[in-house]
Structure 1
Amino acid sequence: MAQAEVADRAEKEHRSSPIDTHVGSRVRLRRTLLGMSQEKLGEALGLTFQQVQKYERGVNRIGASRLFDLSRVLDVPIGFFFDDMPGATGSSATTSMLRARMGGGFAEQQEGFEDDALHKRETLELVRAYYRINEPAVRKRVFDLIKSLAPVD
């Protein structure tokens, strides 16, 4: 193999896949929503916080067993990590198939919902407060109230 081909192959191997980047961003989202630090997540997985950082940025690919561990520690189905995957990284048919096989996701995808809203401080504070409600019946009533206040599309 020519030296240029070897260099090209090495460069491609070091680039983050859009899917790895997406899965990593979903790990970061869920960890943040839970108010968990990278250090705490790393401890739960037997990793350093630097390794968690690399997973979250998509620099390191997350293997199947690690994805399983992440779903357990972050208390989400494995399909959560693939929810809202942009069309450029996976067809909607592929994403739907993944969701169906892996038990859906953390939240239903909403038409017109902007992903940026998930990264706002207000959203994070609201979700954290919601999950601090210990009584499931009360939490359900709060959820129903919020849904009733939103405009109907």
Structure 2
Amino acid sequence: MTGSKSANEIDAHVGRRIVLRRKNLDMTQAALAAAIGTSNYQLAKYERGMNRVGASRLQEIADALKVHAAWFFADDPMPAFPLQSTSNTDLELRFTSSSQERELNAAFEAISNPPLRAQIIALVSALAAEI
């Protein structure tokens, strides 16, 4: 062990995942900082990968962002152990990255009629195939 406490590639990756999930939830940096009992400045340092996130703090962040702590290591550039596939979570995050996508997703989720939902999927698939 080198004894160095400086941030590294994994710290930066975890920080990017914090930002991604926070933005996906339309949560401000101030709201997340308040939820975990830290300052905006400290949270910004976590998000930029400048400061390492300790295990207990990472769990607090995971709870506030409603994900499992392991989610922050998905697609880790240097995984120490294999994690469960997060492709569905990542696809969901990519799908809900813009306000239009979130609006479409929210409207679709409000439809409780399964046959109608299937028709909408078929319509969107047909439109996408024409492009």
TM-score by length of 1: 0.61
Instruction: Using the aligned pairs only, state the percent identity.
Output: 31
Aligned to 2:41: 50
**Structure 2 unaligned blocks of 5 or more:** none
**Structure 1 unaligned blocks of 5 or more:** 1-8, 111-116
Q: Is the 8 A contact 2:73 2:79 kept in 1?
A: no
How far does residue 17 in structure 1 lie from its aligned partner after superposition? 1.1
Question: What is the CA–CA distance in structure 1 between the aligned matches of 2:61 and 2:14, rounded to whole Å?
Answer: 11
How far does residue 58 in structure 1 lie from its aligned partner after superposition? 0.8
Give the secondary structure class of the aligned counterpart of 1:65.
Answer: helix
Aligned to 2:12: 21
Q: Report the AA paired with residue 88 of structure 2.
A: A
How far does residue 40 in structure 1 lie from its aligned partner after superposition? 0.7
2:99 aligned with 1:107: no
Within 5 Å, give how 1:1-153 maps onto structure 2.
12-14=4-6, 16-86=7-77, 89-90=78-79, 94=81, 96=82, 99-100=83-84, 105=86, 107-108=88-89, 118=94, 123-129=97-103, 130-131=105-106, 135=110, 137=112, 141=117, 145=121, 149=125
Count of aligned pairs: 119
TM-score by length of 2: 0.69
Question: What is the CA–CA distance in structure 1 between the aligned matches of 2:30 and 2:16, rounded to whole Å?
Answer: 17
Give the secondary structure class of the aligned counterpart of 1:107.
Answer: helix
